[in-house]
Amino acid sequence: MVATAKTVGDLFDLIERKPDLLVDADLTVERDGVAFTVRGYDDLVAVDLPSFGAALDLWRDGSVEGTDAAATLVAAGLTAEIRVRGAPVARLGADAVPSPLAKRLGLGPIQLFLDGALLALMPRRG
């Protein structure tokens, strides 16, 4: 269905109702011999890494700084969640609530999950 605007007010209403960018993805990415998954669930993109070492390597080698990445995600209406072994450790973008620790560490508008970090550090059973 195509909506048309008859007045400038109608046009602004159409623009405000426009949906944000939605992502539907299920990828396995390999970088420097380390495989990780990227899954998109509408406005959430989850990046699941196998270890904290892999997460730090990705962060350090990233071509975009965290604050720039966060601003880009906000502009697109997206949120990225970084997971280590399935446990959420950080979030940036539209739905992230910047944590005081991230601000103190100079990481920018990033939400850190300490409980997720502890869970990711726990040895796996079985």
Task: Please give the pLDDT value at position 108.
Answer: 75
- Reported as half-sphere exposure (CB side, CA atoms, 13 A), residue 8 has a value of 0
Query: What pTM value is reported for the model?
Result: 0.77
CB-CB neighbours of 34 under 10 Å: 14
Q: What is the rounded CA–CA span in Å between residue 108 and residue 91?
A: 11
Lowest-confidence pick of 35-44, 46-55, 66-75: 66-75
Question: C-alpha angle 80/85/89, rounded to 5°?
Answer: 45
Q: Within 20-110, where are the H helices?
A: 52-61, 66-76, 100-104
71 Cβ partners below 8 Å, 6+ apart? 109
Q: What is the rounded CA–CA span in Å between residue 5 and residue 14?
A: 8
pLDDT digits (tens, 9 = 90+) for 83-112: 999 999 999 998 999 888 888 887 778 899
